[in-house]
Amino acid sequence: MLKKLEIRTQAGESLVDITEDIQKIIHEAGVAEGICVAAIPHTTAGLTVNSGLDTKTLADIVEEVERLVPTRVDFQHQYDTPRDAAGHIKSVLVGCSICLIISSGRLLLGHSQSVLFFEFDGARDRQVWLRILADQ
């Protein structure tokens, strides 16, 4: 089953917790055991799993990725903006897909883990595509 999750991100860089949105789609699909593959069709965004318990953790992650790949004007590719160029590099580092286990009708995550959409060049309308595969 293929489903699309739509997100409107804030300006600049941010992490959006999409765990419950994905969980709702899995529940509606009625899948008890299986796999959920999440992928994005964007080159200035990413997907990751990390702690969503403390919003300061999210702020630290955003700040540290910005420190590692700052927005600057000396990138060789400047098709859109310097933020766009930096976003392309950040997307490569974070990744654009994840594979999640479904067990007992829920995502199999640690107690502090969340599925996070990483925006590098917002505000934008974004999509997360979910392929949900049930065990036979």
What's the predicted TM-score (pTM) here? 0.92
Q: Which amino acid is at 103?
A: S
**Sheet of 45-51: strands edge to edge?**
12-17, 113-122, 45-51
Series of mean pLDDT values for 10-residue runs along the chain (136 residues): 96 95 98 98 97 92 94 74 84 97 98 97 96 95
What pLDDT, on the 0 to 100 scale, is given for residue 78? 63
Q: Break the chain into its structural domains and give their ranges.
A: 2-134
* The pLDDT value given to residue 120: 96
Element (H or E) spanning 93, and its range? helix 82-94
The arrangement of strands across the sheet holding 2-8 comes to 2-8, 125-134, 34-39, 97-103, 106-107
Write out the two tokens for 120.
């590098």
Nearest partner of 115 among 15, 41, 31, 44, judged by Cα? 15
- pLDDT value at residue 79: 67
Contact 89/110 with Cβ under 8 angstroms? no
Beta pairing class for 34-39 and 113-122? unpaired
13, two tokens: 């860089």
**CATH fourth-level superfamily of 2-134:** YjbQ-like (2.60.120.460)
Residue 23 CB neighbour total at 10 angstroms = 17
